[in-house]
A and B are shown apart, each in its own frame.
Chain A
Amino acid sequence: MVVRNYNEELKYLEKINPYCWRIKKGFQPNMNVEGVFYVNNTLEKLMLDELRNSCRPGMTGGFLPGVKQIANVAALPGIVGRSVGLPDVHSGYGFAIGNMAAFDMSNPKSIVSPGGVGFDINCGVRLLRTNLHEKDVQPIKEQLAQSLFDHIPVGVGSKGIIPMNARDMEEALEMGMDWSLREGYVWAEDKEHCEEYGRMLNADPSKVSLRAKKRGLPQLGTLGAGNHYAEIQVVDEIYDKYAASKMGLERTGQVVVMIHSGSRGFGHQVATDALVQMEKAMKRDQIEVNDRQLACARINSVEGQDYLKAMAAAANFAWVNRSSMTFLTRQAFAKQFKMAPDDLDMHVIYDVSHNIAKIEEHVVDGKVKTLLVHRKGSTRAFPPHHPLIPVDYQLTGQPVLIGGSMGTCSYVLTGTHQGMTETFGTTCHGAGRALSRAKSRRNLDYKDVLTKLENMGISIRVASPKLVMEEAPESYKNVTDVVNTCHAAGISKKTVKLRPIAVIKG
């Protein structure tokens, strides 16, 4: 690979408008299409700093800078349009986190890559509304936070409390949220307000290793650790009154609950298994990629198809997982307020997926094409009138749930037509890390972080004290910068800002 200094590298990058940069062909070898990334001034600096650091001699870091990873993805066979970096992009395994890429299904050389989905398959966010006001919750906030912590299993080594045997698991993997619905853990309306209606139909549990199923079984219905959380939030600001009211968010101070979790050990193992398989497929089919971490297989190869079927099963696992926690959350609230969950109007507003590959139809160069869209650390954001979004959001566009980092705000956006044409209906997913975990632990003090959260009026229950530093807001990019960039660039539209009042974390 050619070694260039920072200034030479910059020649391949062009700022095309205040919120968007173009990555020209040649920045990395064999680019089939151009790259693009969305940043504002603050995020731009972080992005370019990362590139500058990697140009210094003697760098032996693990991952390439995000901008290089976006360009390497642009060199994958069958990619169409552009390789897109969202404002919260940071380097990850193979694909950058916050990277979106679409591959032409009609091109026999097109690939599917587990690295383009991520280890935590269908990690996502679900938002529940309530008819409570902040002043109803404030006096019993601590008890409510504790009650949530008592209902939802969190943290490393935690086990689910929903009784399940191996057969239940097989059914859940095939049925996704329909399983939760059948067993009575969720409401019919929950399914309506969920991406893919909470079930990927091509899921095939027989394509999943026993190892993955064994890892998944005890963890179903657990929140997990790391950046996963359940938060009680209040509506802080409404930007789009009409869209907000369609979501049942009528006034500031209204209480909502956000659940951020994924497919747990099950998804991690499915991804791990697929990477091993794909290494072999790449050798056989002579697929050349710029980075060994971009393990992939042709979509219509056995490995490619098996991965898509296993990935769909993992996606279903994640929906059942979030559904189980929805059930536990409703129970916790019902007990605290001594009211039935439906009297508290605890409906699911929406449920989005962050790490997933889906077959979608998009217009490319004026023609409708069927594409395999990889979204890693990015969210689908379909515009108004799109047939795949729920009827209630046909006029507003799909709700996009952007979870902030611990103690910072979260946002609800809606999809736009511009996003549909520019980014294949994709937008950011959250804050995106800025500081490494080790650096966070060194620079931040456990007590300081907790005091700061307390001063902000946020109750916190966390299983691992170490995580408090690692997940402190200072370790992340500013979610407001990220969301404002998406809004200004027009790829999605700000609807509601949410402020946390209690956090449950691994």
Chain B
Amino acid sequence: MFKLKLTALGHPNPESFNCEDEKEYRSVVLWLEDQKIRHYKIEDREGLRNIDADSWKEAYDLYQKDLVSPVSDGSPNEQLNWLLSYAVRLEFADNVTKYKDAKIEQPKQAAPNVVSSNPLDNLNFSSPAFVNGVERVCALTGVGPHIDPKLRLAAVAKILKTSPHPDCPRTEVSVVQQPADVLKLLFIQDLRDLQTKINEALVAVQSVTADPRTDTSLGRVGR
């Protein structure tokens, strides 16, 4: 627990920290105040430093009150979680410029990918090519004129869904057929991947639930 936040804050052994262990818990609180939060002056940290003393609990409650922790009445885990988050916030505030750059890097990489992978997303709906294309499909399907080509395309889509598909002119058969075939094959490939994943999931569940049995005393088989 708390591994991610402890790692982010540079705790020496985030892997092995056990929040159930009272002593380790207290040490981490002290470490946070000493290294990260620094709310008290060094000499005022005495109460927290006595991690073996019974009075530590009181000091901890007071410390939380001083920090205005919203979960000072919560469970020890909730309390520590808040302290850790608070420390992370302080750490971030101290080095805004450094962390800001780090964060922006990832979305910047992802965004162009999405756009480039699907040409339909960056279609220019007002380009003459698009307008002309819509004009041609509308002529085939008998959709009347309208200023907005997008609206006309929506009308075409509606017609294609509800009425039988118009036969395309002979000269255009291969132009339409070939890409359609390619799309079908790609679709089948995707479907196969999906089905394989479904089967793997089923097999994984079977390893928990399966217990096939037979009991020949229930019925008589053979002679």
Chain A directly contacts chain B within the complex, with at least one CB pair under 8 Å: yes
Binding site for B on A (CB under 8 A): 146, 149-154, 158-163, 181-185, 188-189, 191-192, 218, 222, 327-328, 331, 363, 366-368, 385, 390-392, 394-395, 461
B211 touches A184 (CB 8 A): yes
A159 touches B218 (CB 8 A): yes
B212 touches A159 (CB 8 A): no
Residue interface mask B205-220, A partner, CB < 8 A = 1? 1100111111110111
Total B residues in contact with A, Cβ cutoff 8 Å: 29
User: Which residues of chain A have C-beta atoms less than 8 A from B163's C-beta?
Assistant: 366-367
How distant is the Cα of A391 from the Cα of B189 in the complex, in angstroms? 9
Binding site for A on B (CB under 8 A): 162-164, 184, 188, 191-192, 195, 198-200, 202-203, 205-206, 209-216, 218-223
How distant is the Cα of A161 from the Cα of B199 in the complex, in angstroms? 28
B221 touches A391 (CB 8 A): no
Inter-chain contact total with CB atoms closer than 8 Å: 85
26 A/B residue pairs, CB under 8 Å, sorted by A: A146-B222, A149-B221, A149-B222, A151-B221, A153-B220, A159-B219, A159-B220, A162-B214, A162-B215, A162-B218, A163-B214, A163-B218, A181-B202, A181-B206, A184-B210, A184-B212, A185-B212, A191-B202, A192-B195, A192-B198, A218-B219, A363-B164, A368-B162, A391-B188, A391-B191, A392-B192
Apart from A152-B221, A162-B218: 8 A-B pairs, beta carbons within 8 A: A150-B222, A158-B219, A161-B219, A162-B213, A163-B213, A183-B211, A184-B209, A185-B212
User: Which residues of chain B have C-beta atoms less than 8 A from A161's C-beta?
Assistant: 214-216, 218-219, 221
How distant is the Cα of A152 from the Cα of B220 in the complex, in angstroms? 9
Closest to B185 in A: A395
Given contacts A151-B221, A158-B220, A182-B206, contact A394 B212 (CB under 8 A): no
B212 touches A183 (CB 8 A): yes
User: Which residues of chain A have C-beta atoms less than 8 A from B192's C-beta?
Assistant: 391-392
Given contacts A161-B215, A184-B209, A189-B199, contact A367 B162 (CB under 8 A): yes
Closest to A363 in B: B164
- What DSSP secondary structure best describes chain A's contact surface? mixed
Given contacts A328-B214, A366-B163, contact A182 B219 (CB under 8 A): no
Given contacts A367-B162, A391-B192, contact A188 B218 (CB under 8 A): no
User: Which residues of chain B have C-beta atoms less than 8 A from A181's C-beta?
Assistant: 202, 206
Q: Determine which of B203, B219, B222 lies in contact with A160 in the assembled complex, contact meaning CB atoms within 8 Å.
A: B219
Q: Which of B162, B164, B192, B221 has the most CB of A within 10 A?
A: B221
B212 touches A327 (CB 8 A): yes
How distant is the Cα of A159 from the Cα of B210 in the complex, in angstroms? 23
How distant is the Cα of A331 from the Cα of B213 in the complex, in angstroms? 11
Q: Determine which of A188, A222, A363 lies in contact with B219 in the assembled complex, contact meaning CB atoms within 8 Å.
A: A222
User: Which residues of chain A have C-beta atoms less than 8 A from B220's C-beta?
Assistant: 153, 158-159
How distant is the Cα of A340 from the Cα of B113 in the complex, in angstroms? 47
B210 touches A182 (CB 8 A): yes
How distant is the Cα of A363 from the Cα of B162 in the complex, in angstroms? 10
Q: Determine which of B164, B200, B213 lies in contact with A366 in the assembled complex, contact meaning CB atoms within 8 Å.
A: B164
A192 touches B199 (CB 8 A): yes
Closest to B195 in A: A391
